[in-house]
């Protein structure tokens, strides 16, 4: 069974600092990995999707890397802003097309 | 594009009653829909996968007689929590996929439904 772990569970940084969020998974046989953002009491917003054959994806200030062989992904958020405060979830898709989620990293960016 | 809605966004009910939650894909046809539940400060746990016109596939430990799922059309899936109890209080989120689900295709998530059972 796929297990997804996100470290740290919570992170607080001053505005302008870069954020580094880590995700690890136990079964490297994945189809893709996604990073989501979740605001309190809300649904999920997809940020980046990395196919298993890719090493990274970028969107604006966000960059996500994938090392499938070691079962790791890292989400980088450059020049953080208070609006980046949210919970970030990592999820991997297996050969059964189901998503396995990590517990998330709750980010607070202080103004 | 690829918008998924849920209704209601929140519901409060008495213990013992049943509650129906709708999940709709507004601008695409969803061959597969997924239902998740999320407890406070925890991750999303997949409850079941439903394909249009066929019975849902439930994850281990999820009671299929308690959580009834119907996927009658390519744009609508419903989750009915039968004889709800306080321990069923949770945040329920659906997602929809256009082709096959997961894999190289993205799941689009609804905004979630907060269920509180008194």
Q: Can you tell me whether residue B22 is helix, strand or coil?
A: strand
CB B48: neighbour CB atoms within 10 A? 21
Q: Which of A15-24, A35-44, A77-86 has the lowest mean pLDDT?
A: A35-44
Question: How confident is the model at residue B51, as a pLDDT?
Answer: 86
Contact across the interface for B102 and A51, Cβ inside 8 Å = no
Instruction: Compute the average pLDDT of residues A21-46.
Output: 93
Q: Is B3 on the interface with A (CB under 8 A)?
A: no
Contact across the interface for B110 and A43, Cβ inside 8 Å = yes
Instruction: Compute the average pLDDT of residues A16-38.
Output: 95
Q: What is the pLDDT of residues A75-88, one digit of tens each?
A: 999 999 999 999 99
**Per-residue DSSP letters for B64-90?**
TTTEEEEEEETTEEEEEE-S--GGG-E
Number of H helices, E strands in chain A: 0, 11
- The percentage of residues in chain B with a pLDDT greater than 70, rounded to a whole number, is 93
Assess whether pLDDT exceeds 90 at residue B99: no
Q: Is B118 on the interface with A (CB under 8 A)?
A: no
How many A-B residue pairs are in contact by the CB < 8 A criterion?
64
- CA atoms in the 13 A half-sphere facing the CB of B86: 1
Q: Can you tell me whether residue A105 is helix, strand or coil?
A: strand
Contact across the interface for B46 and A31, Cβ inside 8 Å = no
Q: Is B81 on the interface with A (CB under 8 A)?
A: no
Rg (alpha carbons) of chain A, rounded to whole number:
13
Q: Is B8 on the interface with A (CB under 8 A)?
A: no
Chain A contact probe: residue of B44, B56, B116 with most A CBs at under 10 A: B44
Contact across the interface for A97 and B114, Cβ inside 8 Å = no
The single-letter DSSP state of residue B14 is -
Q: Is B109 on the interface with A (CB under 8 A)?
A: yes
The chain-wide mean pLDDT, for chain A, equals: 94
CA distance B88 to B71: 21
| pLDDT band with cut points at 50, 70 and 90 for residue B101 | very low
Instruction: Compute the average pLDDT of residues A57-81.
Output: 97
Q: What are phi and psi of A92, to 5 degrees?
A: -115, 145
Q: Is B89 on the interface with A (CB under 8 A)?
A: no
Q: What is the pLDDT of residues B27-69, one digit of tens each?
A: 888 888 999 999 887 889 999 999 888 889 999 999 999 999 9
Question: How confident is the model at residue B102, as a pLDDT?
Answer: 46
Assess whether pLDDT exceeds 70 at residue A98: yes
Residue in B41, B45, B93 closest to A43 by CB: B93
Question: How confident is the model at residue B103, as a pLDDT?
Answer: 44
């Amino acid at each position: 069974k796929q297990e997804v772990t996100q470290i740290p569970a919570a992170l607080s940084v001053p505005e302008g600092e870069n954020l580094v969020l880590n995700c690890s998974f136990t079964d490297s046989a994945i189809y893709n990995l996604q990073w989501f953002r979740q605001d309190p009491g809300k649904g999920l917003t997809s940020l980046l999707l990395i196919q298993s054959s890719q090493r990274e994806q970028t969107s604006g200030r966000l960059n996500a890397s994938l090392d499938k062989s070691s079962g790791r992904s890292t989400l980088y958020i450059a020049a953080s802003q208070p609006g980046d405060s949210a919970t970030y979830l990592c999820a991997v898709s297996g050969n059964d097309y189901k998503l396995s989620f990590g517990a998330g990293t709750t980010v607070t960016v202080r103004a | 594009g690829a918008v998924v809605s849920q209704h209601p966004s929140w519901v409060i009910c008495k213990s013992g009653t049943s509650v129906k939650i709708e999940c709709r894909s507004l601008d695409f046809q969803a061959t597969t829909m997924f239902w998740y539940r999320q407890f406070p400060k925890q991750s999303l746990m997949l409850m079941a996968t439903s394909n249009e016109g066929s019975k849902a596939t439930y994850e281990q430990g999820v009671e299929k007689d308690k959580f009834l799922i119907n996927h009658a059309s390519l744009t609508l899936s419903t989750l009915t929590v039968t004889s709800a109890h306080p321990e069923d209080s949770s945040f329920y989120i659906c997602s929809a996929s256009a082709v096959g689900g997961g894999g190289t295709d993205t799941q689009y998530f609804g905004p979630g439904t907060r269920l509180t059972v008194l």
